[in-house]
């Protein structure tokens, strides 16, 4: 529309612009355009002033370091034939030039008027040179289709191996009209055209899945199949598929016609490249939309023992970045909420907070034996033992590091195998133990259900033992001078279905101390555990180190029978060291947390994970951190966070509520949508196949 307006403004028409190649009826429009623009290079370099020249005759956008160097070789150039020039919606000064090769220039003018001038001239030049490419091939209407039936195998693509199942790829109804013409000519089609047909077939399948997903939505909750936005999405997808099918049909006609009378093929391959790019984009969008609305189907047979090494970081890394930390601290105030503060990348832990929550199950043998307790008191004490030993595995490193803040919609899945043989805790399965029917399976799923506030839900179950635990946590951090405090607000519920018991519990706060030297973590606060049915409760107190003297990581607990107000067991020691259990009978028992074997979790390889599963989602950040390339890690991290913010703004503008996958809101908390206490009959993969939210 902008191009047409400019043409009319200068007294020309689009038709007049298309006549003549060198006489150029629109020569009045081909004025000299040059000047300084800002060009975005990368995250590190940012925006740089460069001198740009629009070469109308060659159809190139060239740039130089400055105006004085314009007589030298250009620093870079972009062909405008087939290019798309788009004003940016982020501000009134920025625009992009996207070449058909995939290369992009992101440019910024001094004001909105200058941007409009550049965009208009670039669009006119791009239109002219795109149409000039088309003149190398006569219109299809002037060719007789009889030429196609006489074509020989002179196509450049005939030298490549042909997919013998190409007929099967014509799954689109719109292509059936031309399939008989080409069924005997499939060997003449180049490989890249077959690739386009195959991708179109995949896109058609995704389109069908999209339609079925929308039409299968329950009308009782959430958006219905008749929601205006969903109807528009269906119509847009159908129109796009129809348009692409027609484009592919034209390309097939063009290719077969070229067998007999091959003329210039640049425009043919240009159109094919455009078709491939558009189809790839459509396919990716459809996959993303369908995948976002459907739960990942987790195949437990694909899981393997986790080979990720424990975090080992050199202490010198913190010393090297002290100036950055000092600068950050100078911007903070005591008690300031750090939820929205962007912290430097070098302090990241190379894993998501959702995965860190799985460390609570690093001793699954203690978890599954809770239900073996012979009495309500015994089961409460067993739960307290499991609870106290569940924190040290997540904090083994010498330096306190911060896990990635999960992206809304992010998920993490894993499992553990626990041998059924009755053995003392110190002899429980070592890493990599292979067992099938001799093992209990403990499955875990976590999901980031909210962004503001940042709330995570996680759920674990052992179906064979008829027990499960559901927890939701809101992490709230604040600045405390030389420390950072993190409150874990939320509640957990353990269900022992065999006994009909439910245990509710809270979580302690965590503190990162000595953030200017070598940061370390301690836990603090009071935790309550209650079982209403049995009348047993426990109070666990994590003690922070006093300013003078005292020991680190101290904890004590009391297990009480509420009806009689009697303490039946006391615990004292260190949550990451030795714990001593003392019963009213005088019996004592010692558990050394450091000697408890850690059972490796089982996860699927990254390439088998969904796009929003933690390890695959953050893989580029993790790889960059391992290579100690902080700039690259920051760039990848910023991309994910900016995408999240953009999607959040879009939902706010369209008043669209976020829809979770595995958890649903219940009062003030979040509950797994198909917990074990709701399912009457066991299923083969309970955690990975929840009902549609």
Arithmetic mean of pLDDT over the chain: 75
The predicted structure's pLDDT at residue 136: 52
At residue 226, does pLDDT exceed 80?
no
Given the DSSP bridges, would you call strands 467-479 and 484-496 parallel, antiparallel or unpaired?
Answer: antiparallel
The predicted structure's pLDDT at residue 480: 65
Q: What would the 3-class secondary structure string for 245-282 be?
A: HHHHHHHHHHHHHCCCCCCCCHHHHHHHHHHHHHHHHH
- DSSP one-letter string for 304-355: EE--PPPP---THHHHHTHHHHHHHHHT--TT-B-TT----GGGEEEEEHHH
At residue 69, does pLDDT exceed 50?
yes
The predicted structure's pLDDT at residue 202: 74
C-alpha R_g of the chain: 32
Which range of 8-17, 122-131, 312-321 scores highest in mean pLDDT? It is 122-131
What pLDDT, in 10s, does the model give residues 658-682?
889 999 999 889 999 889 988 744 4
What pLDDT, in 10s, does the model give residues 37-58?
999 887 666 788 999 999 988 8
Q: What percent of the chain has pLDDT over 90?
A: 32
Give the confidence band of 254 by pLDDT, cuts at 50, 70, 90.
low
The predicted structure's pLDDT at residue 569: 97
Select from 51, 101, 49 the least CA-distant residue to 71: 51
Give the confidence band of 291 by pLDDT, cuts at 50, 70, 90.
very low
- 300-307: average pLDDT: 85
Alpha-carbon distance of 133 to 100, in angstroms, equals 13
The predicted structure's pLDDT at residue 347: 66
H or E stretch at 191: helix 191-215
Main-chain phi, psi angles of 462, to 5 degrees: -120, 105
The predicted structure's pLDDT at residue 546: 78
Cα 51 versus chain centre, distance: 38
Q: Which residue has the higher pLDDT, 425 or 236?
A: 236
The predicted structure's pLDDT at residue 656: 81
The predicted structure's pLDDT at residue 446: 96
H or E stretch at 530: strand 520-531
Strand partners, 300: none
H or E stretch at 64: strand 60-64
The predicted structure's pLDDT at residue 493: 96
Tokens (6 digits) for 137: 């091939």
What pLDDT, in 10s, does the model give residues 377-426?
999 999 999 999 998 876 555 566 788 989 999 999 999 999 987 544 43
**For residue 29, with 0-12 CB atoms within 10 Å meaning exposed, 13-18 middle and 19 or more buried, which class applies?**
buried
With a CB cutoff of 8 Å and minimum separation 6, the contacts of 236 are none
Q: Which residue has the higher pLDDT, 421 or 111?
A: 111
Ranking 281-285, 443-447, 474-478 by mean pLDDT, the lowest is 281-285
- 564-592: average pLDDT: 94
- 242-265: average pLDDT: 62
The predicted structure's pLDDT at residue 180: 37
Alpha-carbon distance of 613 to 404, in angstroms, equals 13
- DSSP one-letter string for 572-626: EEETTSEEEEEETTS-EEEEEGGGSPPPPPEE--GGGS-TTBHHHHTHHHHHHHH
Tokens (6 digits) for 379: 């089961």
Which range of 15-29, 117-131, 268-282 scores highest in mean pLDDT? It is 117-131
Select from 365, 382, 403 the least CA-distant residue to 521: 403
CB contact at 8 A, 382 and 583: no
CB contact at 8 A, 24 and 30: yes
At residue 562, does pLDDT exceed 80?
yes
- 448-452: average pLDDT: 90
The predicted structure's pLDDT at residue 426: 39
At residue 146, does pLDDT exceed 80?
no
Q: Which residue has the higher pLDDT, 405 or 293?
A: 405
At residue 328, does pLDDT exceed 50?
yes
The predicted structure's pLDDT at residue 333: 61
At residue 314, does pLDDT exceed 80?
no
Q: Which residue has the higher pLDDT, 447 or 521?
A: 447
Main-chain phi, psi angles of 429, to 5 degrees: -40, 135
- 473-495: average pLDDT: 83
Give the confidence band of 550 by pLDDT, cuts at 50, 70, 90.
confident
The predicted structure's pLDDT at residue 3: 38
Q: Which residue has the higher pLDDT, 519 or 372?
A: 372
Cα 217 versus chain centre, distance: 24
Within 10 angstroms of residue 347's Cβ, the number of other Cβ atoms is 20
């Amino acid at each position: 529309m902008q191009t047409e307006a400019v043409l009319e403004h200068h007294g020309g028409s689009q038709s007049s612009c298309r006549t003549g190649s060198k006489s150029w009826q629109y020569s009045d429009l081909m004025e000299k355009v040059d000047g300084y623009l800002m060009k975005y290079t990368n995250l590190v370099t940012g925006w740089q002033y460069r001198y740009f020249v629009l070469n109308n005759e060659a159809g190139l956008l060239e740039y130089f370091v400055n105006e004085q160097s314009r007589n030298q070789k250009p620093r870079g150039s972009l062909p405008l034939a087939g290019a798309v020039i788009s004003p940016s919606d982020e501000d009134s000064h920025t625009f992009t030039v996207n070449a058909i090769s995939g290369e992009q220039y992101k440019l910024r003018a001094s004001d909105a008027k200058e941007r409009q001038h550049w965009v208009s001239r670039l669009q006119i030049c791009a239109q002219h040179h795109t149409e000039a490419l088309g003149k190398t091939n006569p219109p299809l209407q002037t060719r007789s289709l009889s030429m196609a039936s006489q074509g020989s195998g002179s196509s450049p693509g005939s030298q490549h191996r042909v997919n013998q199942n190409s007929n099967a790829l014509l799954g689109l109804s719109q292509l059936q009209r031309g399939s008989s013409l080409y069924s005997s000519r499939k060997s003449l089609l180049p490989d890249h055209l077959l690739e386009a047909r195959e991708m179109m077939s995949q896109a058609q399948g995704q389109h069908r899945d999209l339609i079925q997903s929308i039409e299968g939505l329950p009308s009782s909750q959430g958006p219905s199949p008749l929601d205006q936005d969903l109807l528009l999405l269906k119509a847009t997808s159908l129109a796009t598929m129809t348009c692409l099918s027609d484009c592919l049909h034209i390309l097939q006609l063009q290719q077969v016609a070229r067998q007999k009378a091959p003329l210039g093929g640049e425009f043919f391959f240009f159109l094919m490249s455009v078709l491939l790019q558009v189809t790839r984009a459509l396919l990716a969008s459809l996959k993303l939309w369908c995948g976002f609305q459907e739960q990942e189907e987790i195949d437990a047979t694909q899981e393997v023992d986790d080979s990720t090494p424990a975090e080992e970081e050199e202490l010198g890394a913190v010393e090297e970045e002290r100036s950055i930390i000092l600068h950050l601290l100078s911007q903070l105030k005591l008690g300031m909420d750090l939820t929205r503060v962007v912290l430097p990348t070098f302090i990241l832990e190379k894993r998501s907070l959702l995965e860190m929550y799985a460390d609570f199950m690093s001793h699954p043998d203690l978890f599954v034996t809770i239900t073996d307790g012979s009495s309500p008191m015994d089961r409460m004490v067993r739960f307290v033992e499991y609870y106290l030993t569940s924190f040290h595995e997540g904090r083994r490193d010498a330096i306190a590091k911060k896990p990635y803040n999960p992206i809304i919609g992010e998920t993490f899945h894993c499992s553990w195998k626990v041998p059924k043989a009755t053995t003392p805790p110190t002899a429980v399965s070592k890493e990599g133990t292979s067992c099938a029917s001799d093992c209990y399976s403990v499955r875990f799923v976590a999901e980031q259900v909210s962004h503001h506030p940042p709330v995570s839900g996680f759920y674990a179950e052992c179906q064979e033992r008829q027990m499960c635990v559901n927890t939701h946590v809101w992490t709230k951090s604040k600045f405390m001078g030389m420390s950072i405090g993190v409150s874990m607000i939320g509640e957990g519920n353990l269900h022992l279905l065999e006994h009909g018991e439910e245990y509710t519990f809270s979580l302690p706060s965590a503190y990162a101390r000595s953030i200017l030297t070598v940061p370390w973590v301690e836990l603090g606060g009071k935790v309550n555990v209650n079982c209403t049915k049995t009348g047993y409760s426990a109070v666990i107190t994590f003690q922070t180190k006093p300013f003078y003297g005292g020991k680190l990581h101290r904890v004590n607990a009391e297990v009480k029978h509420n009806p009689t107000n009697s303490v039946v067991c006391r615990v004292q020691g260190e949550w990451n060291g030795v714990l001593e259990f003392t019963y009213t009978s005088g019996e004592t028992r010692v558990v050394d947390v450091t000697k408890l074997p850690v059972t490796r979790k089982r996860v699927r390889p990254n390439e088998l994970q969904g796009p929003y599963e933690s390890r695959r989602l953050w893989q580029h950040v993790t790889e960059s951190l391992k290579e100690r390339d902080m700039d690259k890690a920051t760039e990848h991290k910023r991309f994910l966070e900016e995408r999240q913010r953009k999607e959040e703004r879009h939902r706010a503008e369209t008043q669209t509520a976020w829809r979770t996958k595995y958890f649903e809101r219940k009062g003030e908390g979040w509950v797994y949508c198909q917990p074990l206490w709701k399912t009457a009959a066991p299923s083969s993969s309970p955690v990975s196949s929840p009902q549609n939210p």
